[in-house]
Amino acid sequence: MASSWTKFTANLHIFSVLLLLALCLPFGGGQKKKENLLSEKVEQMMEWSSRRSVIRMNGDKFRRFVKAPPRNYSVIVMFTALQPQRQCSVCRQANEEYQVLANSWRYSSAFSNKLFFTVVDYDEGADVFQQLNMNSAPTFMHFPAKGKPKRADTFDLQRIGFASEQLAKWIADRTDVQIRVFRPPNYSGTIALALLVSLVGGLLYLRRNNLEFIYNKTGWAMAALCVVFAMTSGQMWNHIRGPPYAHKNPQNGQVSYIHGSSQAQFVAESHIILLLNAAITMGMVLLNEAATSKGDVGKRRIICLVGLGLVVFFFSFLLSIFRSKYHGYPYSFLIK
């Protein structure tokens, strides 16, 4: 009886061991398969990145290498529309900055397989745009190594602009990867300055016997006004932030020249503000001329009415733009 019980216990022990092995083997095999798949994905991404700093992706590549697990690397994706028929000038400008940033990362000493730059064009991955409910371009998104993208993983292009330095700062906040932006040499500013100096020097040489124009008050006043108009219209903000010229909705083709937020602006918007300020200034000059000149009364009255019309109309237009950007601003004049 004891011998039978011992044999039964031994068989039960062997059965338990075999059962545990049978349960563990699938999990071990699944883990190994997962590691092999991850290794293949990283190797493929590194190979593409070695050929081109920004990896072009269609719908299938996006779902496999960006959306589908496993993944231990972060991906920056620019959703854009670069085809000529889309007429998206902002997309081309943003792509140039994106290429500068990607090249800076690709050829830096800190380059690793923890971060990749990719692009999805609307004409090559329209299904991706639909999947993400995306209706505007360009758009920059960060897909983290773990978890789903959060709200902060979408770059605030309208408020910050798409300069490479701003993108690098955003990426550092989302991934802790520091990218030092290296721009290719640009001698256009130096050449323009040299041409300006040459032009001014040549003009002074030609007029060396008569330099009275240097003391011309009207000329200096016009130059000062040009500087004032440029600064008050936001040209320096454009230079620092690098905003798009305008925004075109890829779905309905509608172009916006005025940004809807008080925290940002388009380049076209600053040009509009410059022209409005110039028109208002011209109206004030005409009013002053009508009041101080001693010419014909009828002519002075016409000048006064034209100046008053310029000030009233264009100031109303300027106030309406201000009101559209600062929501809740209660005042308007003629134009709402």
Confidence (pLDDT) at 91: 87
pLDDT digits (tens, 9 = 90+) for 289-312: 888 888 788 888 888 999 899 988
What's the whole-number average pLDDT of the chain?
82
Environment class of residue 78 by beta-carbon count within 10 Å: exposed (0-12), middle (13-18) or buried (19+)? Answer: buried
CA neighbor of 44 nearest in space, from 11, 23, 68: 68
Q: In the chain, where are the structural domains located?
A: 34-175, 212-325
Classify domain 34-175 by CATH number: 3.40.30.10
Confidence of residue 25 (pLDDT cuts 50, 70, 90): very low
Confidence of residue 27 (pLDDT cuts 50, 70, 90): very low
pLDDT digits (tens, 9 = 90+) for 107-131: 988 898 899 999 999 988 889 998 8
Sign of the Cα pseudo-torsion (267, 136, 66, 153, in order):
positive
Confidence (pLDDT) at 20: 53
Q: Report whether pLDDT(82) > 60.
A: yes
